Structure 1
Amino acid sequence: MKTTRLGPDGPEVSQFGIGAMSFAGLYGDATVEESHAVLDACRNAGVTHIDTANVYGNGRSEEIIGSWFAANPAARDEMALATKAGITRDPKRRFNNDAEHLEASLDQSLERLGVDHVDLFYVHRYDRAHSPEEVAGSLKRLIDSGKTKAVGFSEIAPSTLRRASSECPIAAVQSEYSLSTRAPELGLVQTCAELGTTLVAFSPVGRAFLTDDPFSFERAQSMAFTKSNPRFIEPNYTANISATDRLRALATEIGEPTAALAIAWLISRGDHVLPIPGTKNTAHLAELVRGTEITLSEDALDEIDKALPVGWAHGDRYNATQWEGPERFC
């Protein structure tokens, strides 16, 4: 398993993490048994980073991870554990970065997880009622309290990262990044590298488009997030399946799972890029982990770029409602 450092001075972790939204998230809940099986398989494969959030299943994902740690107490010292807060269910204030709110949310997460600290605590959505420096100051106080070892932000612009970093070291920035979403290459990948910040890439297999078994249109229409997402609405859905068929054909030619190619491609973007795919299926996990075991040749990387050149995807990655919160910077 390839490794990377979580932030400029953080622990060495696997350059691959498990995103635990799939345990209780946008694509249907997993059972406790399925989730524990995935975590067991991650541990056996040398995966040492778990990523969750307080809003995933309204705390259910954290509770599932907590129950796994309770059943496997030695695993806690082996894993770098991350969670997030800052998204609320208050329709009048969807995002809240008040210092008191962040600390209270972290306290609740620690209780669900059954731990006394996390290794990384993110602001899930930046609240523009505060300056980046002010939010970073609040996060620094959480480090000082011992409740988290490091802090990060999700879905922010490079300029926000620079401002926050002037107040407190930012160990990680989480952003959607894959062969189908390459906007981070327009500044975020570079700024993270410059500052020593880990770029944690969620949805690294393009919400299943970059796999051997993409969501059917019917299944996509049965899930709250994808049924209104531009890339899963016709005619974009059919166009995206047709486009990604080229990657599946290339994967067959190379003799690797399509998801493995997508993960290996991301890891090739830089030692500081850490993909966190989510799954509730151990067989799919094995395909994803395979991406950490292969090194793509320059010829293979060129063929991947020919199959899916920058800008190939049909439709925006979010609809108007889904875009509320993430910072656009280009």
Structure 2
Amino acid sequence: MERRVLGRTGRLVSVVGLGTWQLGADWGDVDEDDARAVLDASVEAGVTFFDTADVYGDGRSEQVIGAYLADNPGHPVTVATKMGRRGPQDPESFTLAAFREWTDRSRRNLRTERLDLVQLHTPPTAVFSRDEVYDALDTLVAEGAIASYGVSVETVDEALTAIARPNVASVQIILNAFRLKPLDAVLPAASDAGVGIIARVPLASGLLSGRYTRETTFAEDDHRTYNRDGSAFDVGETFSGVDYETGVRAAEDFTALVHDTLGETLTPAQAAIAWVWQQPGVSTVIPGARNADQARANAGAGSADVLGPLFASGVREIYDTYLREKIHDRW
């Protein structure tokens, strides 16, 4: 699998990583044996980047990764975690003391003295402009608790604010065939500044896999059921903010585009993942996987040939037809 430098971390990471939200919570139940099988299959397929957070299953995702890497020493895996969602979503709560508490907990969960990369976890917008926040993060680097830091954002404006800071190593943002806005300004700005881009939600919560219909249902504890109105967290995280009916129609056209332009060489999910990492400026894309087969299939998109201009124009046409008017100005 191709590898790229992850911005100012200086680390080489696989262009397809692994998002591990689903190993903690909010996607229905995934037991520990299945979770470890996902990690194992990913590593065997060439994945060298795991993304997690301290709130995924209240630390369960971090703990599973920490135990797995402890049992498999020597794997060249970079682990990025996130912090900031354990306390009140008040900019005043983002202090050095809180950061120390949160990173100490993540270090215990991940069984490491120094965290590879810590990202602020979609905090309130005002946090991205506070000098004291970045001073605190710089202190954690100087103390050796973290090697590098970045941010996970909801909006393009938040991303651009963070990219302007001199020590931000990476920006994590939603980018997929149903969320094109980051292509306009964020990716060029990040590339110019040497900031890595971690692309999340590459399958629009599964819509781009082509497996869902209007009749598909999800478990009660799956965010695709309970967060469709944004009552639990930013609705942009669920189906990329697209209403489900519209998303299914757009996904049907995406599946047809894959078949018409690529034949049977890639599944719709693989094509969606490959399209993301092939965008200039993207360092890695982090699809989730609930089982080993999904993990292997996702990783297989990391060696896909360039999809070509016909596919790219088709993605743009689908976006313009179904989605631009509904979501482009929101995030």
TM over 0.5: yes
Q: Equivalent residue for 1:44? A: 44
User: Equivalents in 2 of 1:297, 1:163: separation in Å?
Assistant: 32
Q: Equivalent residue for 1:270? A: 280
Contact 1:66 / 1:113 at 8 angstroms: preserved in 2? yes
Q: Equivalent residue for 1:305? A: 315
Deviation at 1:222, TM superposition (A): 2.9
Contact 2:154 / 2:174 at 8 angstroms: preserved in 1? no
Contact 2:13 / 2:284 at 8 angstroms: preserved in 1? no
1:24 aligns with 2:24: yes
**Pairwise CA RMSD:** 2.9
Q: Which whole-Å deviations, capped at 9, do the CAs of 1:27-60 have from their partners, x for residues lacking one?
A: 1231111111111111111110011000101111
Q: 1:226 to 1:87 in 2, by over 3 A?
A: same
Q: 1:305 to 1:269 in 2, by over 3 A?
A: same
User: Equivalents in 1 of 2:130, 2:119: separation in Å?
Assistant: 13
Q: Determine helix, strand or coil for the equivalent of 1:264.
A: helix
1:103 aligns with 2:100: yes
Higher relative contact order (CA 8 A, sep 6+): 2
Q: Which whole-Å deviations, capped at 9, do the CAs of 1:299-327 have from their partners, x for residues lacking one?
A: 4424532662346239967xxxxxxxxxx
Match of 2:123 among 122, 126, 134: 126
Gaps of at least 5 residues in structure 1 are 318-327
1:183 aligns with 2:175: no
Contact 1:6 / 1:172 at 8 angstroms: preserved in 2? yes
Q: Equivalent residue for 1:249? A: 256
1:229 aligns with 2:236: no
Contact 1:164 / 1:170 at 8 angstroms: preserved in 2? yes
Q: TM-score, normalised by structure 2?
A: 0.85
Deviation at 1:165, TM superposition (A): 5.4
Q: Equivalent residue for 1:61? A: 61
Q: Equivalent residue for 1:12? A: 12
User: Equivalents in 1 of 2:114, 2:221: separation in Å?
Assistant: 33
More helix as a share of residues: 2
Say how many residue pairs are matched.
316
User: Equivalents in 1 of 2:78, 2:49: separation in Å?
Assistant: 5
Contact 1:95 / 1:125 at 8 angstroms: preserved in 2? no
User: Equivalents in 2 of 1:187, 1:111: separation in Å?
Assistant: 38
Match of 1:174 among 149, 172, 175: 172
Deviation at 1:147, TM superposition (A): 1.5
Q: Which whole-Å deviations, capped at 9, do the CAs of 1:187-246 have from their partners, x for residues lacking one?
A: 2222211111111111101100000323765524734522341577xx942332122112
Q: Determine helix, strand or coil for the equivalent of 2:67.
A: helix
User: Equivalents in 2 of 1:213, 1:148: separation in Å?
Assistant: 39
User: Equivalents in 1 of 2:96, 2:321: separation in Å?
Assistant: 39
User: Equivalents in 2 of 1:18, 1:106: separation in Å?
Assistant: 21
Deviates more, 1:268-277 or 1:159-168: 159-168
Q: Equivalent residue for 1:325? A: none
Q: 1:222 to 1:162 in 2, by over 3 A?
A: closer
Q: 1:216 to 1:115 in 2, by over 3 A?
A: farther
Q: 1:302 to 1:278 in 2, by over 3 A?
A: closer
Deviates more, 1:104-113 or 1:206-215: 206-215
Q: Equivalent residue for 2:290? A: 280
User: Equivalents in 2 of 1:177, 1:136: separation in Å?
Assistant: 25
Q: Equivalent residue for 2:138? A: 140
User: Equivalents in 2 of 1:313, 1:166: separation in Å?
Assistant: 29
Deviation at 1:186, TM superposition (A): 3.5
Q: Determine helix, strand or coil for the equivalent of 1:57.
A: helix
> Structure 1 segments of 4 or more deviating over 6 A?
314-317
Give me the identity figure in percent.
24
Deviation at 1:14, TM superposition (A): 0.7
